[in-house]
Amino acid sequence: MLNYLWSSMILTGTLWAAVHGRLDDVTQGALTAAKEAVALCVTMLGVMSLWTGVLEIGNSAGLIGQLSKAMRPVLRFLFPDLAPDSRAAEHISVNFIANMLGLGWAATPAGLKAMEELKKTEESRYAAGTSPYCSQTPPTPEARRDPPCLTTATPEMCTFLILNISSLQLIPVNIIAYRSQYGSPSPAAITGPCLAATAASTLAAVVFCRVMGRRSRR
């Protein structure tokens, strides 16, 4: 869908420029945007390298592990059926910590690993007959051969995805870097509004996930 959207926007802009005799502006704009994109990528590469390195140092020093343990009450509230010391919980904690620091790119690998571990957790529950979401006696032969709970996102996966999208940010590092790259006189001025906005979105996400979680159990 996005491919069609971007293609239509580029085509529309090019046709508009051709009709009005401004194709030279399109060419100049493309070259300027390419130059700015490379400069921005170099800037963001330095920022991400710095903070990814900080996360690795924190992990080696045991800081990430301590923060993950401190988040266990939160994870127990958000994921009541997930063991707080499981691999999935560990990756979820790392993802949340990275998002709080505004490191969305650094949070992506942990998020992907968390989804993989949540799938493995549900498969092991189903095999042991202890899944809170997947019935051991599906109503149809097709469902018995291919249980829907093992081929679709579980409520825990949905909860994690929604919270990851809402993304509470204490330090919006990426946005600060963007503002600095484009010459903002006060790049960090966005911190307060960003914290308020993400706190509201995260609160809404938590309420929604709890309500839908109880509904799915019923």
Phi and psi, residue 80, nearest 5° = -65, -25
The pLDDT assigned to 75 comes to 86
CB distance 131 to 122 below 8 Å: yes
Q: Would you say residue 18 lies in a domain?
A: no
- Structure-token pair, residue 150: 């093992």
Inter-CA distances, 124 with 131, 150, 176, Å? 8, 10, 42
* Contact (Cβ atoms closer than 8 angstroms) between residue 133 and residue 154: yes
What is this structure's pTM?
A: 0.68
pLDDT score recorded for residue 54: 74
The answer to whether position 9 is within a domain reads: no
Distances 129 to 100, 109, 122, 134 between C-alpha atoms, Å: 36, 30, 10, 9
Per-residue pLDDT of the chain (218 residues; tens, 9 = 90+): 778 888 888 888 888 888 888 888 888 888 888 888 888 788 777 767 777 777 778 778 877 778 778 888 888 888 888 887 788 888 888 888 888 877 777 777 888 888 999 988 888 887 777 777 676 565 555 555 566 667 778 888 889 999 888 888 887 777 887 788 778 888 888 888 888 988 898 899 989 888 887 776 66
pLDDT at position 72, please?
84
Count of structural domains, the chain = 1
Nearest-Å Rg of the Cα atoms of the chain is 22
Q: How far apart (Å, rounded) are the C-alpha atoms in residues 143 and 137?
A: 9
Asked if residue 20 belongs to a domain, the reply is no
Q: At what angle do helices 23-60 and 104-128 cross, to 10 degrees?
A: 60
User: Is the residue at 145 inside a domain?
Assistant: yes
Residue 142 has what DSSP assignment? H
Domain that holds residue 104: 28-217
Q: What are phi and psi of 21, to 5 degrees?
A: 70, 35
Residue 210 lies in a domain: yes
Say if 137 falls within a structural domain.
Answer: yes
Judge whether 14 lies within some domain: no
Q: Is the dihedral of CA 82, 84, 85, 87 positive or negative?
A: positive
Taking Cα atoms as reference points, which of 107, 96, 118, 52 lies closest to residue 198?
96
In a domain, 7, yes or no: no
